[in-house]
Amino acid sequence: MTLHHEGRNLILAFTALWFGTIGILILIEAPTYITIPLVGIVTMLLLIVLQFFRYPTKHTIQNPKQIIAPADGKVVVIENVVDEEFQKESGIGERIQVSIFMSPFNVHSNHNPVTGIIKFFKYHPGKFLVAWHPKSSTENERTTVIYQLPNGEQVLVRQIAGALAKRIKWYVKEGQRVEQGQQFGFIKFGSRVDIYLPPGTKINVNLGDVTTGAETVIATLA
């Protein structure tokens, strides 16, 4: 278990706050009834930040026929849809959408669900509706990544900011070759990741299932 580099500044800030608070309390010789609550509060804040930016070791078993979960979280959507952006960029119609909700208690790194080439990437500024809002996938701040698989199929992954998530980070660009399970981004403080799969794909998860990014096999290609 390590700490994610995206949390470096916040971790340093809250660590400084922790030491600073204790230092001031010692310096002014604050009474116990003040010291205990304040130390408890800053300790809790530091622990919350540390748990949010934890980054456990991932063990991906690569398989070109399998789709790996792009995020830790809970499956909240499984449905057939036509995504307008996917259709515009690739001429592809109906897809199977699987959405994974990431709570503030989940690991927030995002991982490539497949091995392939980044055919398309775009960042969209937008709103911060709650992640389960029906319009969050088209109106919220988000990124769109389209993967071109070796067999010619295409898979779209969309990072979506939520009411608490105010920062989306990505580490991929168009034309880049990526490996299944590698980290491609990070969403700070909870949100959602959508993945759009080819028709005929066998979905291996159900609504409410918990996924582990880079490890859980959520689908099998036909």
Specify the pLDDT at position 48: 83
Higher pLDDT, 62 or 90: 62
**Location of structure tokens 């969403």:** 187
196-209 pLDDT, tens digit per residue, is 999 999 999 999 99
Any idea what DSSP says for residue 127? Answer: B
pLDDT > 90: what percent of the chain? Answer: 58
What architecture is domain 66-220?
A: Distorted Sandwich (2.70)
Specify the pLDDT at position 8: 84
82 has which bridge partners? 94
The number of residues in the chain equals 222
Average confidence score pLDDT of the chain: 89
Closest CA to 15 of 47, 53, 55, 56: 47
**Is position 191 annotated as part of the catalytic site?**
yes
Token pair recorded at residue 36? 């205990």
Residues 144, 187: Cα–Cα separation, whole Å: 13
Options 109, 136, 137, 191, the catalytic residue: 191
User: Does the pLDDT value for residue 189 go beyond 80?
Assistant: no
Greatest mean pLDDT range, 81-85, 112-116, 132-136: 112-116
Task: Say which range, 78-87, 90-99, 127-136, 162-171, has the weakest mean pLDDT.
Answer: 127-136
pTM of structure: 0.84
CA 90 to chain centre: 24
Residues 205, 61: Cα–Cα separation, whole Å: 17
Specify the pLDDT at position 128: 61
Which CA distances in Å does 185 have to 90, 108, 171, 178, 205?
22, 9, 6, 12, 23
Closest CA to 136 of 145, 147, 124, 146: 124
Element (H, E) at 13: helix 8-27
Is the dihedral angle over the CA atoms 98, 64, 111, 123 positive or is it negative?
negative
Specify the pLDDT at position 138: 61
- Alpha helices (H) in 28-162, listed in sequence order: 32-52, 84-90, 136-139
User: Does the pLDDT value for residue 165 go beyond 60?
Assistant: no
135-151 pLDDT, tens digit per residue, is 556 667 889 999 999 99
Q: What phi and psi values does residue 8 have, to the nearest 5 degrees?
A: -55, -50
pLDDT bucket at 2, cuts 50 / 70 / 90: confident
Element (H, E) at 16: helix 8-27
